C-alpha cells in the first residue's frame, strides 16, 4: 500500500542504500556472489512496515516470528534507554548478576510449565538449543552414564544454525556443505497428521518405540521437538501425539527438550505451547517473543530433574552477553504488555477467525492444506516453490514467508480486525493468481 504523504528517503539515497547493501552485506540464506535486490525497511509501527520509498506493508510474518507486541512500542524504547543509563552491561560469569536478569528469571519461572525453576540466559534460539543439548548430554555422564548421548529429533524440525542445533535440525538443506556435523543425532518422521493419515499418532509412536529399541534406551540422552513445526510449515501435531510421546520417553528415562523459540509468549495463544498440548518438559528453549525482538534475548528454562542430575557438575558453557540487563529489562516490560493487553486471548480468538476465513482455500487445486494454531498459520501448496505466491501477496501490500511448499504466516499479536481481513484477502488473491 503506497504512502502518498511523504517518502522516507529521497530517490538518490534509496539507490545508494541498495547499492551499498548489495556491495557489502551477506544476507542469511543468500547465494554468495549473487546479492538480491534488498527490501529495505525504514520504519515500523504496530503491524505495519514502511520501506525506504514510503510504501507500507502489513507484516504477516513478524520478521521471524519475534514481534509479539508489534513494532515501535515507545515503552520498550524507554525502558531500554533507562536501563542503559543505569547499567548498560556487565558479564554474568563468576557469579555476577544484575537486577533485571534476576527479576526476569523469577518471572519466567512463575509463568512457565511447573518445575522449570532455573534459567540460563542466551542471546537467541540457536544458542538456546545448543545449551539445551549440552545440558542433556552432560546430565548423563554426571550420573555415571557417559554413553547416553544420542539426541532424537524429527524430520522437518528446525532448531537453529549453531553446530549441535544444525545437527538437530531435520531439514537437509541446512546441512549441505557444512559437514561433518556433530554425531549422535537420529531423525524420526515429520509429525504431519494429514500426510500420515487418520492413524498418524499410532504410526509415529510405533516408529519412536522401534527406534528406541534399535538404538538402545541406555544410549539416548534426550528428544528435542517443537510443539508445532515452525520453519517446517506451521504443522500442528496429530491429536494425542505429545501425550503419548512423552509417556514413551518417561518409560525409558529419556529427557524431553521442547523448542519453544517460535511458539512461546502468545504465538499459540498461551504463554507456552506446552500448555496447549499438555507437554511436561525437562527443558524449554525460548527466544524471539521473549523481548519481541527489540533486543536479542533468549532463555533456557531447566526443570528440577535435570538440575538434580547435574548437581555438583561444572557447566563450562556461556556467552559474553548472558543475562544482558537491557535485554532483561525490555523482556520484563514486553511480558507486562502481553499480559496487560490480553494478547494471549487475542491470539486465540483472532487466530480462529483468520483460520476459518482461510479454510476455503482448500478448495483450490493448488492448495493441499490450510492449518493453524493461535496466530500461526501454514498453507501447504502443491508446488515445490511458492515464491510466486509470496511475490503476489507483497504486491497486495502483505508480507508472508515461503518455506518449501508452504506459505507461513505469523503476524503480531496486536493485529487489528481490519488488518486481519486485509491479510486474508491478500493471501487469498495471491493463491488464486496462480
Tens-digit pLDDT profile for residues 423-432 = 999 999 999 9
Query: Is the peptide bond between 2 and the residue preceding it cis, with omega within 30 degrees of 0?
Result: no
Q: Where does the pLDDT of residue 1 fall: very low under 50, low under 70, confident under 90, or very high at 90 and above?
A: very low
- Integer Cα distance of 359 and 356 in angstroms: 5
Give residue 3's pLDDT band: very low, low, confident or very high (50, 70, 90). very low
Tens digit of each residue's pLDDT (9 = 90 or more) over 379-409: 999 999 999 999 999 999 999 999 999 999 9
- Give, in order, the Cα–Cα distances in Å from 98 to each of 3, 112, 176, 249, 315: 44, 21, 41, 37, 20
The reported pLDDT for the residue numbered 4 is 39
H helices of 112-174, where?
A: 125-142, 163-168
- Given a cut of 80, is residue 195 above it in pLDDT? yes
Residue 6's pLDDT band (cuts 50, 70, 90): very low
If 0-12 CB within 10 Å is exposed, 13-18 middle and 19+ buried, where does residue 74 land?
exposed
- What distance in Å separates the CA atoms of residue 141 and residue 88, rounded to the nearest whole number? 38
Asked which of 32-36, 236-240, 311-315 is least confident by mean pLDDT, the reply is: 32-36
Q: Is the pLDDT of residue 7 over 70?
A: no
Domains of the chain, first to last = 11-69+342-432 (3.90.1150.10), 76-340 (3.40.640.10)
Render 176-230 in DSSP notation, one character per residue.
Answer: TT-PSPPS-EEEEPP--HHHH-TTHHHHHHHHHHHHHHHH-GGGEEEEEE-SSBS
Task: Compute the Cα dihedral for 415, 356, 203, 245 and give only its sign.
Answer: positive
Nearest to 182 by CA among 248, 112, 254, 133: 133
Write down the pLDDT at residue 140: 98
Over the stretch 126-137, which tens digit does the pLDDT of each residue have? 999 999 999 999
- pLDDT score of 359 more than 70: yes
pLDDT of 170 > 60? The answer is yes
Widest Cα–Cα separation across the chain: 69
Report whether pLDDT(121) > 60.
yes
Contact 322, 298 (CB under 8 A): no
pLDDT in tens, 12-68: 899 999 999 999 999 999 999 998 899 999 999 999 999 999 999 999 999 999 999
CA 4 to chain centre: 35
pLDDT of residue 137: 98
Q: How many CB atoms lie within 10 A of CB 434?
A: 15
What's residue 2's pLDDT?
A: 43
Contact 235, 229 (CB under 8 A): yes
Show the cell assigned to 387.
515464491
Residue 8, pLDDT score: 59
| pLDDT above 90 as % of the chain | 96
Query: Grid cell 511480558 — which residue?
Result: 335
SS3 content of the chain, % helix, strand, coil (to 5): 45, 15, 40
Position 36 scores a pLDDT of 87
SS3 311: coil
pLDDT single digits (tens) 316-332: 999 999 999 999 999 99
Mean residue pLDDT of the chain comes to: 96
pLDDT tens digit sequence for 211-225: 999 999 999 999 999
Distances (CA, A) of 413 to 61, 298, 337: 11, 19, 11
Which of 394, 367, 363 is CA-nearest to residue 379? 367
DSSP designation for 146: T
Amino acid at each position: 500500500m503506497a504512502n502518498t504523504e511523504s517518502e522516507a528517503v529521497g530517490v538518490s539515497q534509496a539507490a545508494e542504500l541498495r547499492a551499498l547493501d548489495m556491495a557489502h552485506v551477506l544476507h542469511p540464506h543468500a547465494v554468495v556472489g549473487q546479492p538480491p535486490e534488498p527490501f529495505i525497511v525504514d520504519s515500523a509501527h504496530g503491524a505495519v512496515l514502511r520501506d525506504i520509498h514510503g510504501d507500507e506493508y502489513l507484516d504477516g510474518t513478524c520478521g521471524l516470528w519475534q514481534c509479539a507486541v508489534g513494532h515501535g512500542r515507545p515503552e520498550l524504547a524507554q525502558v531500554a534507554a533507562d536501563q542503559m543509563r543505569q547499567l548498560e552491561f556487565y558479564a554474568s560469569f563468576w557469579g555476577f548478576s544484575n537486577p533485571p536478569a534476576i527479576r526476569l528469571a523469577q518471572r519466567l519461572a512463575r509463568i512457565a510449565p511447573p518445575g522449570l525453576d532455573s534459567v540460563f540466559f542466551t542471546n537467541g534460539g540457536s544458542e538456546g538449543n545448543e545449551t539445551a543439548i549440552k545440558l542433556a548430554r552432560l546430565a548423563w555422564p554426571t550420573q555415571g552414564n557417559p554413553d547416553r548421548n544420542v539426541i532424537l529429533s524429527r524430520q522437518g524440525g528446525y532448531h537453529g544454525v549453531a553446530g549441535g542445533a544444525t545437527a538437530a535440525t531435520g531439514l537437509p538443506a541446512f546441512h549441505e556443505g557444512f559437514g561433518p556435523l556433530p554425531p549422535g543425532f537420529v531423525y524420526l518422521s515429520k509429525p504431519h497428521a494429514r500426510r500420515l493419515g487418520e492413524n498418524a499418532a499410532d504410526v509415529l509412536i510405533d516408529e519412536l518405540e522401534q527406534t528406541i529399541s534399535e538404538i538402545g534406551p541406555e544410549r539416548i540422552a534426550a528428544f528435542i521437538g517443537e510443539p508445532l513445526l515452525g520453519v517446517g510449515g506451521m504443522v500442528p501435531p496429530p491429536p494425542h501425539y505429545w501425550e503419548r510421546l512423552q509417556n514413551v520417553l518417561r518409560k525409558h528415562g529419556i529427557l524431553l527438550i521442547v523448542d519453544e523459540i517460535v511458539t512461546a509468549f502468545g504465538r499459540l495463544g498461551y504463554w507456552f505451547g506446552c500448555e496447549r498440548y499438555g507437554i511436561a518438559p525437562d527443558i524449554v528453549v525460548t527466544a524471539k517473543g521473549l523481548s519481541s525482538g527489540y533486543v536479542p534475548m533468549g532463555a533456557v528454562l531447566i526443570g528440577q530433574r535435570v538440575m538434580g542430575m547435574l548437581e555438583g557438575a561444572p557447566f563450562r558453557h556461556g556467552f559474553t552477553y548472558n543475562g544482558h540487563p537491557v535485554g532483561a529489562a525490555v523482556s520484563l516490560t514486553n511480558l507486562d504488555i502481553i499480559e496487560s493487553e490480553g494478547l494471549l486471548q487475542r491470539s486465540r480468538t483472532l487466530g480462529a477467525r483468520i483460520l476459518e476465513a482461510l479454510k476455503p482455500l482448500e478448495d483450490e487445486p493448488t492448495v493441499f492444506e490450510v492449518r493453524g494454531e493461535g496466530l500461526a498459520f501454514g498453507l501447504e501448496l502443491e508446488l515445490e516453490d511458492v515464491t510466486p505466491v509470496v511475490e503476489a501477496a507483497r504486491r497486495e501490500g502483505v508480507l508472508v514467508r515461503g518455506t518449501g511448499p508452504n506459505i507461513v504466516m505469523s503476524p503480531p499479536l496486536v493485529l487489528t480486525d481490519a488488518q486481519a481481513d486485509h491479510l486474508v484477502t491478500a493471501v487469498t488473491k495471491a493463491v488464486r493468481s496462480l
